[in-house]
Amino acid sequence: MLIAIQAVHAYGVIHRRISAENLLLSDSGHLVLSNFSYCKVFDHNVDDETVHPQPKDPQSIEEAVNSGRIDYYRMALVYYQILTGQYLSFTASLVHGPIEPREDHMQTLTSEVIQFLSRILDNFPANSPHVSKITDSFLFNDIDWEAMCHQAVSVPLTHRVLRAKSSRSSVHFERVDEGEGGSR
């Protein structure tokens, strides 16, 4: 997700609707960002310095949604969903302030993962990690980011944190059988 967001930002595009529903997998297992119907295009590179918005009023909320920070904040919500199997409300976080990860969602996670999620979900800019701090996180220390950018490496089917989590509890992905109909 980080690479996809950085790539579209390099072209001056802010996606604004990063969500699990807008992420596809290529045949090689790489994430593909889809649904650019709400994107905003700028004639310059998007500032990726801080990850999250700090809304205080309606104007600040609009500025946050129209800056590159919004893509990373929504990415943090997707990471939370992947690791816990639970949703957090993006809109509520903008109106009511920082999201506190729910204790009942965190029971199967290590303290390091909980700390990581808390940091990337903090919407106060002084506390928000820079993109480089996210890529340097212990969660991603075994990833060759340069090779990944060029899709020169295979993507593991599951991350080691997800493997550890799934051994302690049920996996948080639903299986859709062919006969159930409808699309997700």
Q: From CA 15, how far away is CA 11, in angstroms rounded?
A: 11
> pLDDT for 56-70, tens place per residue?
444 455 555 556 778
CATH number of the domain residue 137 falls in: 1.10.510.10
**Is residue 144 situated within a structural domain?**
yes
Say if 51 falls within a structural domain: yes
- Look up the domain containing 117 and give its range: 2-169
Q: Is residue 182 part of a domain?
A: no
Q: Which residue has the tokens 């993962």?
A: 113
DSSP state, 13? E
CB atoms within 10 A of CB 91: 8
Q: Is there a domain that residue 72 lies in?
A: yes
pTM given for the model = 0.66
**Given a cut of 60, is residue 131 above it in pLDDT?**
yes
Residue 174 covered by a domain: no
Which tens digit of pLDDT belongs to each residue from 33-91? 898 988 888 766 555 544 444 444 444 555 555 567 788 888 888 888 888 887 776 55
Is position 53 within any domain? yes
Supply 129's token pair: 């990690």
177 in a structural domain: no
Give the distance between the most distant pair of CA atoms in the chain.
Answer: 49
- Assess if residue 181 is contained within a domain: no
Q: Total domain count for the chain?
A: 1
Displacement of CA 45 from its chain's centroid (Å)? 20
What's 86-144 look like in SS3?
CCCCHHHHHHHCCCCCCHHHCCCCCHHHHHHHHHHCCCCCCCCCCHHHHHCCHHHCCCC
